[in-house]
Amino acid sequence: MSELVPIPSPGIALEFGAAGNPLVVVVHDWFGRLPALEFYAKALVRHGFRVVVPDLYGGVATTDEATAKALFDQLDVGLALAIVDDAVQGGRSEGSDRVALVGFSVGGWIALLHAQGGSADAVVAYYASLEPRDHGVIPCAVQLHLADADEWGEGQDPSSFIDRLRDHGTPISHYRYRGTNHGFANATIRATLDEQAAALAFARTATFLQEHLLE
């Protein structure tokens, strides 16, 4: 994996905003914790949130697709869920009474899996879904941001996932962004970035989080 890029504070979650404010844990995609997530986190802080961005890859990231796949293939899902849980519990210990998870691609999958444990008050997933074998009841509101063009494996179709959420009575809102590809909200990966769609998705995310964490 020659395309690895070191990142600041390797293995340590980045923290933004005032401790005790409603917490948003932002989970990176399979490229790792690239710089654009810091700007995303700081934008959420301006809406009144405490934001924590864990590092699931232990200090490295990449902008190379093949290297990203290799990093994901080595990911210990149980450890990733534990890292997210540490961020959630740490925020609650600092006084954050309400917590949300926001995840991108693989991070969205991790966020949706974690939300099934009942520790979150809301979850937002960008271009992510759960297969039937992974899907239990998610006892909080869910928001999905989906690309117009994406490749889903067998059983990963988000339409089926949305139907299952509705069958369980989970509040669900979802949006599909015309002309976009998977990864449209990762501002570091310019090849797939759609700035207009990313801005609209962020605005919808912020509003959703305000409704469930601040009101």
Structure confidence by residue, pLDDT tens digits, 178-196: 999 999 999 999 999 999 9
Here the contacts of 133-139 (C-beta below 8 Å, separation 24 or greater) are 134/109, 135/161, 135/164, 137/168, 137/170, 138/112, 138/165, 138/168, 138/170, 139/115, 139/170
CATH number of 29's domain: 3.40.50.1820
Q: Do residues 164 and 192 make contact, with C-beta atoms less than 8 angstroms apart?
A: no
| pTM passes above 0.85 | yes
Percent of residues in the chain assigned helix, strand, coil, to nearest 5: 35, 20, 40
Q: What is the pLDDT of residue 136?
A: 87
Indicate the number of domains in the chain: 1
Task: Give the pLDDT score at 152.
Answer: 84
Provide the domain limits for residue 120: 4-214
Q: How confident is the model at residue 155 (pLDDT cuts 50, 70, 90)?
A: low
pLDDT digits (tens, 9 = 90+) for 90-118: 999 999 999 999 999 999 999 999 999 99
Give residue 204's Cα distance to chain centre.
14
